[in-house]
Amino acid sequence: MASRVRGPALSFCAAVLAAAAGLAGCVETSSQPAFTPAAVAQPPRDTPASAAMRTHYTEVQSLLLSEGLLRTVTSPPDAPFTGRNLAENFLRIAFFNEYTYGNDSMTHRASPIHLLRWDTPVRVSVVFGASVPPDRRSIDRASVASYFAKLASITGHQIEMTDQNPNFWVHFASVDELATLGPTLARELPEIATNQIGSATAMDANTYCQVFTQSDPLTSTYVAAAAVIPSEHPDLMRLMCINEELAQALGLPNDSNAARPSIFNDDEEFALLTRQDELMLRLLYNPALRPGMTEDEARPIVNTLATRLMGGES
């Protein structure tokens, strides 16, 4: 779950974004196709709460871009990493939860866990609030489908887009629609805690997006997941949420400020999945690792695999 604290910002690329032109002056080029905001028709008239949230997220995006963050490069030359870095970052991110949960509390403090990942096929349904216009739905659905296809290729795990018996839901909804999402989340994730539902239905302005997972404690495998992405987000923050939350829900639940370049980091330096992130996902679904392993059990295997993935560089 990505919960970030940022203050209000003055517009930096707002004029560019509003015109739906390229962000050539705002984000750097990368080895993947350059990010270009999609041409989207005017959204329906916002409620006051939704309009305020849309303005806030646009200002946040502008501030992050002005600070040189939300980078779209996948293998930046200024952020090299070794096999040892890869192994340590994987262990920090795969074997800890970002949040510690109590009976009625949710604390932003990492807690150790056993290795978690999907064992059964992932069946993804994209769900939209009524306020999301048809053309925006088409763009978001295509973004989610394309990204999940990439994740399936990286991990070798079966992922399909379907509304038939889904076990992974991706919600795009306005702040007003999020307020009514509780019963839906409870139906999708029967074990979800009340405080988790509350964090989604009353998402504050400093929380960009969230994902919740449900696992089988006997097998340490995921059985369901639900991501919640505010529909007020501008294009690049929307893609950032898709990239981070959907990848986290495959079994990389923690963030680490030591991980660079990575989207599993609280500083928003990178908006899109980096090469190191891809390698961590490959590690996660390597058959040499198994769900339920502890960090100590996995460490020697991870060290060997990470060195191999880096071509022997330790």
Say if strands 96-97 and 100-101 run parallel, antiparallel, or are unpaired.
Answer: unpaired
**Nearest 5°: CA angle at 283, between 282 and 284?**
90
What is residue 109's predicted lDDT score, i.e. its pLDDT?
Answer: 59
What is residue 18's predicted lDDT score, i.e. its pLDDT?
Answer: 32
What is residue 98's predicted lDDT score, i.e. its pLDDT?
Answer: 77
What is residue 103's predicted lDDT score, i.e. its pLDDT?
Answer: 54
Percent of the chain with pLDDT over 90: 78
| Secondary element (H or E) of residue 244 | helix 235-248
Q: What pLDDT tens digit does each residue of the chain (314 aa) get?
A: 444 333 333 332 333 233 333 333 333 334 444 555 555 545 556 899 999 999 999 999 999 999 999 999 999 999 999 999 999 999 999 999 976 555 555 555 578 999 999 999 999 999 999 999 999 999 999 999 999 999 999 999 999 999 999 999 999 999 999 999 999 999 999 999 999 999 999 998 899 999 999 999 999 999 999 999 999 999 999 999 999 999 999 999 999 999 999 999 989 999 999 999 999 999 999 999 999 999 999 999 999 999 999 987 65
H helices of 79-228, in order, are 83-94, 134-155, 175-178, 182-188, 194-201
CB atoms within 10 A of CB 300: 10
Mapping DSSP to helix (H, G, I), strand (E, B) and coil, where does residue 28 land?
coil
CB atoms within 10 A of CB 149: 13
**CATH topology classification for 83-309:** Collagenase (Catalytic Domain) (3.40.390)
Note the pLDDT tens digit of each residue in 94-103: 999 976 555 5
What is residue 215's predicted lDDT score, i.e. its pLDDT?
Answer: 98
Say if strands 96-97 and 111-112 run parallel, antiparallel, or are unpaired.
Answer: antiparallel
Note the pLDDT tens digit of each residue in 102-146: 555 555 557 899 999 999 999 999 999 999 999 999 999 999 999
- Among 8, 137, 20, which residue's Cα sits nearest to residue 61? 8
Q: Structure tokens of 313?
A: 């560089």
What is residue 33's predicted lDDT score, i.e. its pLDDT?
Answer: 46
In the chain, the largest separation of any two C-alpha atoms, in whole Å, equals 56
Q: How far apart are CA 69 and CA 61, in angstroms?
A: 9
What is residue 62's predicted lDDT score, i.e. its pLDDT?
Answer: 98
What is residue 198's predicted lDDT score, i.e. its pLDDT?
Answer: 97
110, amino acid identity: A
What is residue 216's predicted lDDT score, i.e. its pLDDT?
Answer: 98
**Nearest 5°: CA angle at 281, between 63 and 312?**
110
Q: Can you give the length of the chain in residues?
A: 314
